[in-house]
Amino acid sequence: MANASQIVSLIHSHFASEDERFSTLALQIAAHEARLGHTSTAQQIREIIEKEKSSKAKLKVIKIHSDLGDLIYETTPKNRLNQLVLPDELKLRIERILKEYRQRGKLQKHGLSHRRKILLVGPPGTGKSMTAATIAGELHLPLYSVQMDKIVTKYLGETSAKLRQIFDFIEAQKGVFLFDEFDAIGTERSKENEVGEMRRVLNSLLQFMEASNSESLIIAATNNISLLDKALFRRFEDILYYQLPSPQEAILLIKNRLGSFGKGLKLNGLEKEVSGLSHAQLTQASDDAIKESILNDMDSVDYEILINCLREKKHINH
């Protein structure tokens, strides 16, 4: 049994709400019971402590999540890597990120960590957000999309406070966190038109990025890398560059997107029509072609319908 001083300390820590101290004392008592051969009692104490710690951790996550309000949008993607139409070199680098995460325990034994902070760079609609969704889907993790337009405000200190909330949540909750349009807060500090507040925000961001030790993956995406502060680059462990799809990649993307609606459809000669279109535009054009076919009671997409949908997207570009 516990000695008198342990019991007194246990009671004191309970009424003082010193949870860590209480847990430590309880585990000391469990160790004492184990030495006396009372293994069942020792195990019971340990299980109670672990259960309570787990419960408190969940409550903390729920509280942080509710405090964030509309700053974070949570989804559960089902995307898979084989659905991504990207250059082979880029897919290999994404596979490396997945492999390191899945085998992070093996790396930790050697004092190494998996890639956790990744920057995606490229024009709009080239697959950056889709990559984040695919990584989340492959790792069976929730995707938390940070709403950048809600973070940046005109009030002094409010943006930095919101960033702190988000990074507290990153530390508490495992997931994939996407900061899209990252240049909204990552703008270079030397820009002449930057006010002092935004420089302070960037300094806060740099500190949070540096201090983050969570297992979560932090993915930032930008359309214009030249806008980012140079000090941010060393915070990222990998930088992936995206570009508009080649004609071959574009045709493959259309084929995958059409699925059964593309049965029997010859996609030869589309090179000119797909040139200059992004992944997002090709996806939208394919979806438009499918909808048009459905509304016309057709079982598959007609070539002319697809051509018109692609040209419509290209016309928007000009």
Domains and CATH numbers, the chain: 4-57 (no CATH), 72-241 (3.40.50.300), 247-317 (1.10.8.60)
Q: For residue 45, what are its two tokens?
A: 């104490």
β-bridge pairing 72-75 and 117-121: unpaired
For 125-146, the DSSP string reads TSSHHHHHHHHHHHTT--EEEE
pLDDT tens for each residue of the chain, 318 residues long: 556 666 776 676 666 666 666 777 777 777 777 777 778 877 887 778 776 655 544 444 444 455 676 788 889 999 999 988 899 999 999 999 999 999 999 999 888 999 999 999 999 889 999 999 999 999 999 999 988 777 776 666 777 788 888 888 888 889 999 988 777 665 544 444 445 556 677 777 778 888 888 889 999 998 877 777 777 778 889 999 999 999 999 999 999 999 888 888 888 888 889 998 999 999 999 999 999 999 988 888 989 999 999 999 887 665
List the beta bridge partners of residue 146.
72, 179
Give me the residues paired with residue 145 across strands: 73, 178
pLDDT of residue 15: 65
pLDDT recorded at residue 189: 45
Sheet holding 176-179, edge to edge: 72-75, 143-146, 176-179, 217-222, 117-121, 238-241
Q: Is 40 exposed, middle or buried (0-12, 13-18, 19+ CB in 10 A)?
A: exposed
The answer to pTM > 0.85 is: no
With tokens 């419509």, the residue in question is 312
What is the reported pLDDT for 95? Answer: 97
Bridge partner residues of 144 (DSSP):
74, 177
Paired tokens of 266: 């010859």
Closest residue by Cα to residue 28 from 1, 51, 55: 1
Count Cα atoms within 13 angstroms, Cβ side, for 255.
Answer: 13
Q: What is the predicted pLDDT for the residue at 193?
A: 44
Determine phi and psi for 263, rounding to 5 degrees.
-60, 125
How far apart, in whole angstroms, are the C-alpha atoms of residue 9 and residue 147?
47
How many beta carbons lie within 10 A of that of residue 46, not counting itself? 16
* The pLDDT of residue 31: 74
